[in-house]
Amino acid sequence: MQSGILGRVATMAALLALGLATAACSNEAEPPQVVAASGSAAAQAGGSSVREAIQDQMLPAIEKTYASRKAQVSLQGSVVHVRMDGDASAPNAGWTDCRAISQLIRKEQTAVLEFPNGTIDCPALFKAME
């Protein structure tokens, strides 16, 4: 019972942090609405750790969080593709979204943002900003 509560609290905290960070830093589009993933992450994980349960819910949570930008999230191998409204050519395009999403996905995964006018590879963006 306690791990179920911890899972829900941790999921909500991660989603709130994503929404606040994005809203505070993004000039790209309107800030996303923070929405919790459905169901109990810990219960759905079948006894695995709270961290794994949270990670299992991150892709649907990212999609719901960026729903106002018509986000669609897919996993292709170890690359998380986030297709959404926005402008890939704007100054600092993708910076805030890449930072937030990269903190939420698994360590072995990378993120790519797909906008109507172009694609931003998050690891390449971070490297270019160094």
pLDDT (tens digit, 9 = 90+) per residue, 65-93?
999 999 999 999 999 999 999 999 987 88
Burial class (CB within 10 angstroms; exposed 0-12, middle 13-18, buried 19+) of 71: buried
pLDDT band at residue 130 using 50, 70 and 90 as cut-offs: confident
Q: Has residue 62 got a pLDDT over 50? A: yes
Residue 30: count other Cβ atoms within 10 Å of its Cβ: 10
Q: What are phi and psi of 7, to 5 degrees?
A: -65, -45
Work out the widest C-alpha separation in the chain, in whole angstroms. Answer: 48
What is the pLDDT confidence band of residue 14, given thresholds at 50, 70 and 90?
Answer: low
Beta pairing, strands 72-76 & 79-83: antiparallel
The residue type found at 46 is G
Query: If DSSP codes are grouped into helix, strand and coil, which group holds residue 85?
Result: coil
Q: What is the per-residue pLDDT for 55? A: 74
